[in-house]
Amino acid sequence: MYKKIAFFLVALMIPASSFAGTRAIYGNDDRVEFYQTTPARKILADSVVSFWHNEQVENKGAMSELSVSIFGKAYNLCEGQRYEKQYMGAFCSGSLIGEDLVLTAAHCVKNEDACRDTRLVFGFRVSAEGQPGTYDIPSSEVYSCSKIEAKFYHKTDTVTGKPGQNAGSDYAVIRLDRKVKNHKPLAINYGAQMKPGEEVFVIGYPVGIPLKVADGARIRSNDMPAYYSTDLDTFGGNSGSPVFNAKTNLIEGVLVRGGTDFVRTPEGCRVYSVTGQDEGRGEDVTKISEVVPSLRALSGVNTAGSKNDSMVLVPFAPVEFVIPGGAETDETGYAGKNGKLLEKIKDFSDYRH
């Protein structure tokens, strides 16, 4: 079958001088492929879904075809960068938390129009050494966003009161067009928050390439009320990724922000931004405790992580975006089929979209 390769226009609008002090890889690059991770991690990864725009997914009956690009060419990577030959195309990540419910970042589905333009695809991954990924997906693994059940997007810096790096909650719960088959809803921690030093890992689609599991990270800080600071190896495309407690395998939060992903070299190509394990800005994770009040009022959510089987449901109304002090903007450059630039909004480089 002919594969669709759309060489995306990648909009990286932050000058190289702004890269100092913000990194996406902390210490070693801990990302591994689906086939390389442990059996327990594979079970979790099977319920982590990739986000695509409608025009990137073509239904051809029993199979659907994804419009993808080649990572290294799309990002003008220097030769030899990890995963440079893999396919890319997803713009966000999410986790199945109910029979037809997905948890993600609110900036991935800002409104109902964005919801209607989103397809959710399971199974975009590498199955063996040397494979670039897959662009043919069973149509049964492709779902649509039918409704935003809850979302909260607080973009104002909680320290300075202005838009910036220390923003607050960023989450959304979306309902799919039908119940998901062959994937189990993931369990959420309804109990105590994590403490600094405790280990975490993340599963998602960094820069839109096939699914990766990134272990070897920890909670750096629990000082902010709405989010953790971590040293997870994450990138744009990881927005919405579930972050798990390494001991319990329960979801502890949603990856939402982080440091700059790439550095431009004197030769003009790009390499990964790398710093020490305890250095750099860190990656922000909206705490699952921010989401729980909404989850408790939704039917079909996996409550396996709750110590109280008779959970008290709170009155529920969909939570809308709360963006004090400014308009809804973020720094993003994504493209779709045949290289068409769909959107280019210039503002915040710290939002992982």
Picking from 343, 292, 351, the residue whose alpha carbon sits closest to that of residue 326 is 351
> For residue range 57-71, what is the model confidence (pLDDT) as tens digits?
999 999 999 999 999
pLDDT above 70 for 207: yes
Look up residue 196 and give its amino acid: P
pLDDT confidence of residue 333: 27
> For residue range 4-28, what is the model confidence (pLDDT) as tens digits?
544 444 333 323 322 222 347 888 8
> What is the Cα–Cα distance from 47 to 244, expressed in whole angstroms?
13
pLDDT confidence of residue 339: 31
pLDDT confidence of residue 346: 23
CATH architecture of 16-345: Beta Barrel (2.40)
> For residue range 144-159, what is the model confidence (pLDDT) as tens digits?
999 999 998 876 544 4
Q: Where are the domains of the chain?
A: 16-345
Distance of CA 39 to the CA centre of its chain: 22
Give the C-alpha distances (Å, rounded to integers) separating 90 from 109, 124, 190, 225: 13, 9, 29, 30
Token digits for 299? Answer: 């039917």
